[in-house]
Structures are given as C-alpha cells and as structure tokens.
Structure 1
Amino acid sequence: MTPLTLTMQAFGPFASTEAIDFTALGRSPLFLINGPTGAGKSSILDAMCFALYGQTTGNERDAGQMRCDQAPATLLTEVTLTFRLRDAIYRVRRVPQQERPKASGEGTTTQAAEAQLWRVTPKGEEDECLVARKITDANVQLQQLLGLDARQFRQVMVLPQGKFRELLLAGSKEREEIFAQLFQTEIFQRIEQRLLDRAKQIVREVNDHRQRVQGILSASDVESEAALQEALAALDPDHHAAKQALAAATEQREQAVATAQAGTALARQFEQHATLVKAKAALLEQQPAIQHAQAQLHRHEQTQALATPFYALQSAEKNAAAAESECQAAQQAIAPRQAAHQQAQAALAEANAQHERVPALQRQAYEWEQSLATCQELATLEGQRATLAQQVAQALETLEQTQQEATRQEQHAIEQEMRWHQGQAALLAQRLDSGQPCPVCGSREHPAPATPSQALVTQAEMKQARNVYEHARQAWVSAQQHAQGLEQQSHHLDERCQRLREQLGDSVSLESVNASLASVNREIDTCERTWKTAQAQAQTAHMALTQAQTTLTEATQRQTEAQHTLGTARTEWQAALQASPFRDEAAFTAARLEASEQQRLSESVARFQRELAKLEGQLEASEPLLEGKTPPDVAAWETHAEAAKSHEAACRQTYQRLAARVDQLTSTQQRLAEARRAEAALEAQYQLWGTLSEVANGRTGHRISLQRFVLGVLLDDVLIQASERLVRMSRGRYQLVRREDPSKGNKASGLELDVADTYTGKNRPVATLSGGESFMAALSLALGLSDVVQAYAGGIQLDTLFIDEGFGSLDQDALDQAIAMLSELQMSGRTIGIISHVSELKEQMPVRIEVSASRHGSSVAVKGALG
C-alpha cells in the first residue's frame, strides 16, 4: 500500500482542511515529518490509520475524540485517503460520530459515523463506488484489500511513538498471527485442521463400532462373545431333536390327511351316483312331448318336396302385382309431362321473338360507345385547356418581368456608356496644357475643361453592362416566343373542343351517355338470359316426356311377361300338390313350420337326446367303482386328520422357536465378525492419519505445528535480513536469532526471538535490550520483514513504512547507519516516512513535511518536493 494523497479536516490539531500530496515527494521517497512537539506529526499517522481502519495508530483515543477544538462548528471532522495497492487506486473517506449544528433552528444533532470506499477509474470516467456509507462493509473491504487488520498494520507498517517494540517483543502466538497474515500460510493451518478432523472422525467411527458391537450383543440378550458361543453350543441338541420330531409329525399328518381325503372322495362318488339316478328319471318324464315334436318335424320335412313350386307361385304372384302397379304409375306420369312440354314450347316461342331484337340493340350500344369515347376525349381536352391556360398566364407574367428587366438593363447600359464618354473627356481635359492645342478641337485656349462629376466608369464596366443587357434582351425574346407558342397551342385546343361539342350536340353529356349505354346493355343481357333459359326448359320438358313414354312401354311389356309367368307357376303347383300326401293347400300350409319354431323343436329333441346319453354314460361309468363298497364314516377320518395337524403345528412351533434363536445368534456372530474387521481397518487408518495429525499439530517431538514450522523458516529468512541491518547499526555487536528450545514443551512456541550478543558470546531475550538498542532491533526487524514479504510471490504488499520517533535514542553513528539503511531500502522502491524532531535528520533529509503549530490550529507544508 502506497499513500498518494491525505486530506484531514478538523482532525486532531488541524482546525481547517489540510492536504498532503505524497506524490509531490517523488517516486518511492524517503521523507521526514518534522515539527515541534505537539504540533501534530503523529496525527498524520493517526489520520491514515483512521481512514483505513477507523482507529488511531496508538489506539489510545477513539475516533470521536480526534475532533479539533479550534475547528468551526459547521466544519465536519473527516479524513480522506487515496492510496495505490498493486495496480489499482482506491479512495476512502471516513467521518467519525460527532456533534454538529442543526440544519435549521438552534442546538446540535449527532452526526452518525460513516465511511465510503471508491475504486478510482481513469480520467473522464466515474469512480466505482464499492461502499456507500456502512462502516462495517468498509472495514471488511479494506481489510480484505490490505490483508492486515488494524493491530497488524500498526506492527508491520507503522512503528508508532513509544510502541515500536511491540513486534519485537510479541509472543509466538501473536507473531504467528502476523506472519500467517503477511505470508498467507493459512493453507498449512487448513492442512493441520483437515488432518486433525480426519483423525477425530476415525476415532469417532471406532467408538461407534465399539458401541455397535455392544448393541449387537445386547439385542441378542448375551453379555459377551464367549456367552454367545456357549448359548449356540447349548442350543444345538435341542434344535436337532426338534427338527426330527417335526419331520415325524409331518409324515403322520400327511398320511392322516390322505386317508381322510380318500374317504371324502368315496362318499362324494356315492352322492353323485344317487344324483344321476334321480336326474335320469326326471328326464324320461319329458319323453312324450319329445315324441310329439319329432312327429311335427317329420311332417315339416315332407313339405320340403313342394317348397320349390310353392315359392315359385308366391314369387310369380308378387311380381305380377308389382308389374301391374308399375304400369298404372307410368300411365299416370304421362299427362303432367305432356302439359309441361306444351308450356315450355310456348315460352320458347315468346323468347325467340324477344331475341330477334338483340342485333338492333347491339347497334344502339355500339353508337352509344362511340358517343362515350367522344365525351371522354372532350373531357380530357378540357382538362388540357385548363392546364394550358395556367401556363399561358404564367408565361405572360414571365414575359412582362423579362421585358421590364431588359428595359432596365438597357437604360443602365446607356447610362454606363454616357458616363464612360464623360470620363474620357475628363481624362483628356486633365492632359491639356495652357497654350497647347486641344487634341479634339485644336484650340490653344481652354476656358472650361471637362471635370469628372462622379466616379469614372471603365471600358470593362461599360462592356459588362452591355453584356448584362444583351442577356436580359435574349431572356425577353425567349419568353415572348414561349408565350406565343402556348397561345397557339391553346387556340388549337379550342378548335378541337368546339368540333367535338358540335359532333355531340348541346343536350348530350358524359352522364347521359353512360346511362343510355348501361340501359341498352341491360336489355341485351335480359333477352339473352331469357332465351337461353327458355331453350333449356323446353329441352328438359321434351326429355322428361320422352322418358315417361319409354317407361310406360317398358312397364306394359313387363306386365305381360309377369302374367304369363304366373299362369305357368299355378299349373306346376297344382300338379305337385296332387302328387303329394297332402289333400289340399290348407293341409300343406298347416304342416309347414316357421323357421324359428323348427329350430326350437329341433334343439329340444337334440338336447333331450344329449342329456339322456350323458346320464346313461355317467351311470355306466360309476356303477363299477361302487360295486362291493359301502358309504364310509367321513367324520371319524377327518377327526383323526385334525389331531395329526395339531400335533405337527406344536412340533413346528417348538422347532421354529429354537431355529429362530439359532439364526439370531448366528447372525449376531457374523455381524460381530464384520464389525471387528471394520474396527481393525479404522485402527489401521488411525495409525496413518493420527500420526500425521499429531505431527502436523505439534503434539510430538519439539511440539511445533506445521504452520509454526513453516513460519519458523520464514522467520529465519526475516532474521537474516534484519540481522544484517542490526549488525551494522550496533557496530557488529547484535544479531537477531530464533530461540531453539521449545518453551516448556508448549506446542505454540517456536517463534520466540533472542538477541545474540557478540560481546558476551551468549543469546539473551530481546526484552533485555536498552531503549536505543530496542529501537535499532525493531527497525531492523521491520525492514527485514518488509524485504522478505516483498520477495515472496503472493505476499502482502509492504511497500510503505512509517517510523514515529525513536531516533532520539540513537547516538550519531547509529543514527547515520539507520539513515543509510533507510536510504538503501528507499532505493529498492519503498516509501519511508520518519517522524522526528531530531535536528540531524532534518539536515540529512531535504524532502520533508513540515508541521507548524499556532493558536488557531496546526498546518502542514511539503518542503523540498519535486517540481
């Protein structure tokens, strides 16, 4: 993070608005913030820290206490900081909670604290607002951007007044938090936690399996696996005996049931035989009715020999009656068709008479069409006359305008020519000499020579006027010719219109011609339609009459044929009847049966015969089976079978109870084996994951966690860089080293610092250093930390360092060494600000920010700035 501009308003000792442009100090400057005690040098760092975190560098005063007492009541206390972070520029503005005058009325009101954050965009574009007002949102955003909280910022980027030893004297735990944030080593902490979580999960799963084993044993009502084995062994003899008893009882039950079923089947056979005997007796009672039906069917069969001539006679009678009816209908249809034919012929004669007028009407239509064409031509010419009249009027107006313009230009050309001649005379007069002859009249005396009365006209101007006149005259001539041509066209149109009007006559108009033509055309269409309709109707009537006459002829012929066929049929029927067993036609008709009745009687006879045959067959089959046997005692056999079933059920219940217990204990034995195998696999996993977790979380050996180990390596790199600077500032006496032995086996150790004293050859705690030595060590540690963080890719950007006081505790040589190291650091691209009132620093550092104090508040000014 590199500050670019800082604006403080009514903040700390600054009563008005004070702005610091850090870019004016140069690129990556080393500068001094100088001023008398109490002027407000440290307030500049307080303002920067407040803008970023809402806290001051020392965190001894809250933001609400930073308002300047000398500031006007209407001026709000606020701080705005613009800074560069990597390739982006941000601007943050903070306003602490404070009292301000009310907008209207008397008294004050509480101004709520607020914060805004913007990402600064290129010029010409509106800055992107990241946070509008909410302080918590701004704090989260800024901490994510900077990668440090307020405490860590004060420890690594600002060495506040009187607190520069905090990072130097910080414990392992606090230093671990700072380094983890700076070097982003949270991945190693996540590895520690993941390993720990996995080991704990395995332990939980092992405990779950052990509890599951106990639950399995409890579910089987045994206390241990040994008791399980004993219970299985004790159950085996009883289980085997119960199995054999069940097999014997099943066999007894099957034999008793088979005997009972056989007795039941025999009893059913006796019952079925008695039923068949009764059914045959009942069926034989229907035999007289069946014999009568058979006689009826026999007589009906005798009538079938006469069926052909009988049906032929009936068909001939029906056909003769139909032919007679058809002939009568044909005779009745002739009269109306004859009347329609006569009426159609009369209508056709009348239509023919009207149709003879069509040629005359067509000639009239042709004459009216010619008149219509003449009227349309006359209307077109009248339109052209109106248009031409407008053109003639416009042409005459143009002719008058061009004539006036030609006359005006002619007058102007004459005037120009006269003025040119006058000018020539004046020019000659100017050349006359007294006593010399005039080149025009020869006189040697010149009593009244010509003088120019106005501006002289040149020959070119005179020619120009003549040309303009000539052009105007040509336009006038052209307009005259155009007007004459239009008038001539108008005269020709008038003559043509007059001839057409004479041809049509005064009483003829376009409307009357159209009406007459339409009337004639309608009359022609009416005659044509009437004639065609009459022709069609006459033709239709003629065809209908012809068809009726043909139908009558054919019907008469069919009637004659039908009568002949009927006579033949009657003769054949009488011959057949005399040769039959029937006395007459009545006896024949009485013997015939309807098809439904014949079917009913046939089915009744067939059904009787089928049922009788079936019963006789069943009786013939059952009698041999019952020969020599008596009806059995079915109830006694069924009682014996039920007793056998009850005995089998009791044996099965005993066997199932013992088998269920054996299955339960066997299943328990298998589940226990599976649980033991799973438990063994989990214990094998714990050997791996548990060991890794203990090592990574610092529970073995030196009890240093994985992240603490990585941070220790990084701290070694920092101490190498820091010791190089501390050796120079302490003239070779001190080096910073990491304490090797863990602190009483505490796994959170490993990052404690000692100082190696070459004078004594021993290491001792850094807390034993004096004030000046502590400042040198703290400064060296801060610079070394900045070097290493910058060197690691992905680390926090530590490209700015502010040091508040501490230089007063150094002697001249140590001060020179510190300034030299800061200059070297500044050459590597860092921005370094030093707050001090030591005069030697002012002499060695020309670029500085001067803070001046007065009774009305402090002010700042940049000295030695670029440009």
Structure 2
Amino acid sequence: MRLHRLDLTAFGPFGTAQSVDFDDLSGAGLFLLHGPTGAGKTSVLDAVCYALYGSVPGARQGGGQGMTLRSDHAAVGTRTEVRLELTVAGRRLEVTRQPPWERPKLRGTGTTVDKAQTWLREYDAVAGSWKDLSRSHQEIGEEITQLLGMSREQFCQVVLLPQGDFARFLRADAEARGKLLGRLFDTRRFAEVEKRLAERRRTTEARVREGDAALLADAHRMQQAAGDAMELPELAPGEPGLAEAVLGAAAVARGTARELLTVADCRLTARESAQAAADRDLADTRELDRLQRRFAEARERAARLAEGDDAHRAAQRRMERARKAEAVAPALDLRDAAEAEYERASAARTHARARLPRDLADAGAAGLSAAARRAAEELGGLESARRAERRLAELVQEQAGLDRQERADEDVLQEAEAWLAGWEATRTGLQDRVEAARQATARADQLDGQRDPARRRLDAAGRRDRFATEADEAQRQALAAAEHAVGTRAHWLDLKEQRLNGIAAELAAALTDGAPCAVCGATEHPAPARRTAGHVDREAEDRALADHQAADERRARAERRLGTVREALAAATAEAGDTPTARLAEEAGELEEQYTRARTAASGLHAAQEELRRAEHEREQRVAARQQAAVRSASRVAARDRLERERTTLEEELTRARGTAESVGARAAQLERRAALLTEAADAVRAADDTAGRLKDADARLADAAFRAGFDTPRDAAAALLDAAAHRELQHRLDARDTEEAAVRALLAESDAADAARRPPADLAAAETAAADAGRRLRDASSARDAAALRCAELDRLSAHATDAVRRLAPLRTEHARVARLAGLAAGTSADNERRMRLESYVLAARLEQVAAAASARLLRMSSGRYTLVHSDDRTGRGRSGLGLHVVDAWTGRERDTATLSGGETFFASLALALGLADVVTDEAGGVRLDTLFIDEGFGSLDDQTLDEVLDVLDALRERDRSVGIVSHVADLRRRIHAQLEVVKGRSGSVLRQRGAG
C-alpha cells in the first residue's frame, strides 16, 4: 500500500482546505511530520485512517460522527471532507468521505443534519480517467478491508506505529500482551475452541451424571425389589467405579433371591401334598353324610306314601269314569254349540223385527226380502240427483271465489294507484342518496391517502421533541465532560512539568559511590540533587495521566452520544418540519374525524343502490299487477252469467228429486236405512229357523251316545267329564304317586345307603375345618413362592436394564474422559500441560516468537549489536506461561526482563518491535506490501549516536522501496531529514506546509 495524496477540509484542527503530496514527501524515503504540541500532527494520521475505515484510531475514535471530527475553526457553510488517493494491490483508488454534518437550514431558522457520504473511484490507466465504483458505506468498507487484508486495529498498529503503545507492551505482563496480540492476529477462533471444548466437557459430564443417576435409581429399585436386603454403593453420580459396584450388588441380590425361591418351592410342594390328603378326607366324609341322609329321607317318603293310599284309590276311580265320559264329549260339544247358535239367532231375529215398520213386523223372510228389493231400486234412481246436488255446491263456491277475486283486484288497483302516484318523488330521493354516498366514497379515499403522512409526521414530531430534550441534556453533559477533561489534562501537564523539574532528584536517589551515573557516567557524586517539598514522583504523574485519560474517554463518549442524538433529531425534524406537535396532533385528529364521517356516509352507498333497485323493481311489479287486475275483472262478467244459468237448471231438478226431504242426500239416506233394515230382518228370520232344526238333531245324537257309554242320562255323562286342566292335574297326581313309590323302593334297596345307615354319623364340620386349614396354608405357601419368583424376575429385569445402561454409558464415559483431557490441556489446567499454557496463548506465543525474531534483526543494528529480543515460555509466579518477552544483553551475556531497559533503550527496542510486528502482521494479512509507514514520537529520548543508528535502520527501509514518516517535534530531526510536513498552529486553525526532498 502506497499513499499518494491526502486532502482535508474542516477536519480536526484544520479549519480550511489542506493537501498533502505523499509522492513528493516519499522521494527521499524518510520524511518528518513536525509541529508544536496540539498543532494537529496526529490528526493527519487520523485523516488517513478515517478515509480508509470511516473512523479514527485509539481513544480519539469518534465513531465516524461528523460533530466529533468537524473542525471548530471551519466556516458555517463548509462541509467536513477527507479525500485519500492511494495504490493497493496494483489498483490506484480514491476514497472520499464526508461525515454527518449539522448545517443551517436553507429556509427558516435552526439547523438540519446531512447524512454521511462516501465515494470510491478507481483510475483507469488505459482511458486516462477516474471511474466511479461505489457510493455505499458498507460496500466500500468491505472492498478496502479485503484489499488491505487488515482490520482497523491492525492497520493502526502496523502502518501508524504508536511508540508509546509498544513501550507499554515491553513492560506489560502476559495478560496485557495477550490482549494486544489477540486483536492483531485475531486468535478468537482458538479461544472459541477452548470454549467449545469446555462446553463439550460440561455437556458430557452432565450426561454421564444423568446416566449414573439413572443407574442409581435402578439400584434403589433393585433394593426395594430385594426387600432392602441389598446394600447400595456409597458413591455419587460421576464418581469412578459406580457402575461396577452397582452391578456387583445386583449380582449378590439375584443369588439371594434365587435361594429364597428354592426354599419356597420346597415348602409349596409339602403344602400341596397336605392339601390333597385333606381334600380326600373331606370327600369321603361328605359321601358318607350324603348316603346316610339319603336313606333317612327314603324312609320318611315311604311313611308319607302309606298315609295317602285311600285318596290314591279314589283318584284312580275318578280317572276311570272320566275316560268313559270322553266318548260322550263330542256329542255334548255339538249339542252345546247348536243351543248357543239357536239362542244367538233368536235374539237377532227379535232385535231386527223391533226396528221394522208396523206393517212389516210379522212378515216372513220372503216378504221382507221383497220389500228390501223395492227400496234398493228407488235408491238407484237418486244417483243423478246426487251429482246435480254436488255440482250446485261447486257453483256456489265458484261464485264466492269470483266475489273474493273481485274484492282482491279492487284492493290491488287502489294500492297500485296510490303507490305509483308518489313514484317520482321516491325515485328522486333515492337517486340523491346514491349520489351523496358516491361523493362521500371519493372524499374518504382522498382523506385516507392523507392519514398515513399525517400520522408519520405526528410520530416524527414526537421524536423531534424527545430528541430535542435529549440533545440539550447531551450537550450539557458533553460540555461538562469537555471542561473536566481540559482540567484533568492541565493538572497532568502541571504534574509532568513539576516532575521534569525534579527529575534530577529521582536520578540522584539511585546513585551509589563507585557506581557510574546513568546520565554522565561519573563514579563520583559530589553534590547529588535533593528532593524538595512537594516533589512529584512517577506514580503521581501516572495517576494524573490515568485521570485525564478516563476524563477524555468520558468526553468522547458524551460527544458520540451528542452526535447520535443530534443526527436522530435532524432526521425527525426533516420528517416533521417546524410545526408544533400539538398543532400536528390537532390536524391529524381533524383529518381522522373527517375520514370517519366520510366513511360512515360512504358505507350507505350499497344500501342506497339496493334500495333504488328494489324500488324500480317494485314499480314494475305494481304496474303489471294493475294491468292483470283489469284483465281479470273483464273475464269475471262472462263467468258470472254462465254460472247463474247453470244454477237455475240444477235447482229445478233437485226440487223434483228431494220430495219431502230436505235434500237429495237426506232422501237417499232414508232409502239406504230402509233397505238395510229389511235385508237384515229377512236374514235373521231365516237363521233362526235353521238353528232350531240343528238343535233338535243334536239332542237325539247326545242321548244315544250317553246310553252306549253306560250312563243313565246325558246329564250324568256331562258330570263325569273332566276338562283338560282337571284331567292333566289328576293324571299328574297319579303319575307322581307311581313315580314316588318306585323311587322309594329303589332307595331302600341300595346296599351302599343301607351300609352307611348302619355306620356312625359323619362329622362333616371337622373335615371341612381341616380342609380349609390345609388350603389356607397352601395359599400362603403359593403366595410366598409367587413373591419369590416375582422378586427374581424383577431383579433380573432391573439387572438387565442396569447392564444395558452401563453398556450404553461406556462410550460416553470414554468420550467424556477424552474431552475432559483435551479441555484441560487446551485451558492449561491439565497436569499434562506442564507450563499451564492455554491454546490461545500457545498460538500467540508462536506469533510473539516470530515478532521477536523479526524485531531482533533491527534491534541489533540500533543497539550496535548489544541487544536481542527473545520469547520466553517460563511461568511467572503462580500465573501461566507462554507470553514472556526478554532482552539479551550481549555485553553481560545475561537475559533480563524488558522492563529494565532505560528510556532510550526502551524507545529503539519498542521501535524494533513495532517494525517486526508490522512485518509479521503483513505476512499474516496475505503478504500485502506496505510502502508507507508512520512512526509516532519517542525520538527525544535518544542521544545523537543512537539517533543516527535508528535513522540508519529506518533509512534502510528504502531498500525495500518503503517510505517512512516520522512524527516528532525534536529539533535535531529537522536538520537530519530534509523532506518535511510542518503543522503550523494558529488562532484560526492549523495549516500544513510541505517541503520535498529537494
């Protein structure tokens, strides 16, 4: 990377436009950037960094906020701008950046904020012109970072070499060095590896503990299954040997359970034998008891049979007479049926004759039939009159229907005429409603487009008011922080000046007789300086410096916050304008009310259109109804005449057919009733005559059947006859007596029962008690055996489950052991890591070793071959090792800490370290060539000889086609370095004066 030109406008202390031609300055290889303190030497380097990365380095970083970078000396209308022209990776580029700018408004009062702007252009050598590449902050930042291969922090370390930082780096401890090297070489991935390994270790450890906890839970369940006869291991989850102890205890529990199962099997076998013997005794006793009771019951039944012999013989005689009477039963049934039929026919005949007219009450069957035929013939002649009567009723209904239609049509005509009379007014009103709703819809759409801008403007006004308050507060805090920072800086400078005035006393305190003075080399010290009252030592100066740096950091934070709030305020003001928030809220509310009213009015458009459409449809229906009513009225006149003529004819016919009856139907009903009564009476007379003959024949057959069956009269036969139920009951009693006699004889003849009756009575209760005791003992033994078997099965199942769990946990335990070993090794806590070096420290140690080797090549030349920087892995105290840095003194041959170097030695050692670090970081960045370097301050602590050696080393960088800019206010350098860039401080701001190598 080579710088060509830098243009500044209103940046830092430079109120006007300034330019730097680096091509002219780099002609001699070395150039000097000098000027008084506070003139703005460092601001030139800040501008380079800001042009490339959009922010300035170190504690001066303002986050790219224009309110921080802008010069206080700039004119109101001049915008801050930085333009840098450079060559990197073979491409000539031009980067232009303008930070956010708070400027006066073009119209009205107050200020507004313009957004930050960035341009990137590339020079086309073929066309001989610049071409635009991008105006995007993000794209330009990514492009520059990719081309340089370095972050902003790396660039500030390897291109803008801050000597104070490297002096502190030499004296820092391992932790501070690690932080700096970690930022430069980006070793976060190695720290992430340490973190991931630690997380992996915790995860596997938790999983192992979970597995051990589950294994202990299985052990507790096995202990419960074994009846607390199992001893659990006194180990916690995660402790080694837990799995083996659990499996061993489980094996002992299983063996004990199997022994108990064998004992239970033997006891169950003995109980089963005793139960079988008791069951056999109980069965024999029950059989003896049953036979004895059977024989006693047979004797009792025989005695009861003997007592009922007389009744049994009477029943046998009754059954015999009933069997004889069964031969007469058909004749008796026939005679009873004939008698019942005759009685019914006689009753029917009497009833029928009572309903006949007096002239026919004593007529025979033939006379009644003839009268019935005459009534039926007269009834048939009335069928035509019936049809005429039905037609007359229909005519009456039709005439009534015509009357109803006429009244309905008159109502329709009147209603239609009344409705149509107001049609024009109704249509005009509905059309006006539709038009008003359409206008309201258009108005609502117009207002809807104005609502969102009004709401956004109101929200922006709220943010504007809030940010205005915050901006006032932030400005107050920024002013207070700036005043405090100025006060602490003045205090620090005062203490520093006091310490410099009394530095001789500090040097004299270290003098001893015979030892050379570090300043003049003399071994005699006749008049060493003495400390005076109020002497300021280095510790007081460092505290004042720390206070100033902290105050300056607070000032920078306050200014960044002020810039952020002002930018937000400008954005909100640009959107909301200057209108008060209350007025905007009132306008938004009025607009919302108008929109609501318009939407309410517009919502009736569809209803109005539908109502107009329904009204037009109703008008068409009413016109059509009026026309149809007129047509129906004309047709009803002819229908009325026709119906009237037909009605007159029918009424004349019905008058002749009715006779004295009220109607043809009544006359027909009279004839139907007469014919029916005559027919019924004729049938009843014939039926009575027939049943009387059949009854006489039945009496003769019954008397003959009773005589043949041996009965004196039919009445005797009827008395001896039994109905089905009585016959079945008597036969059942006779059969039961016979069956009982046979059964009793069989029982009394059984030899087993007779033998049992001769034996002593059976003791059934004692046998049942003995059998119940034996069954209870068997059930107890069976339950004990089942419990032992269940215990064995449960222990086997739990043991198998625990074995599977141990088998599954084995790979996880192995993985945990491996991960824990790797995590401890990477974290530096493992016993295998003898130097307790973390993985990130190990990588940084390798980088530091490379830096020390690169720095030693230049340090040897600067120190005339005396000093060499070496990397050390030794542990410091109880801390960890890996980032030690020592200096080897060739004059003494001893290695000592870099903190023991003097001020001048520390400068060229830190310079050599900075150059070496620049080489290593450049190689790390992919070999990007750095043709322009800047070295900031520190040359005032060198004597003439050391300064010549340092300048020779820097001048040797020209051999690699590099240019080095030295930032210093040492007067002797102005004589030694001809190419100079001077920063001149004035009341109206600083300006740049350039002098080339010639």
Q: TM-score, normalised by structure 1?
A: 0.47
Which of these two proteins has the greater Rg computed from alpha carbons? 1
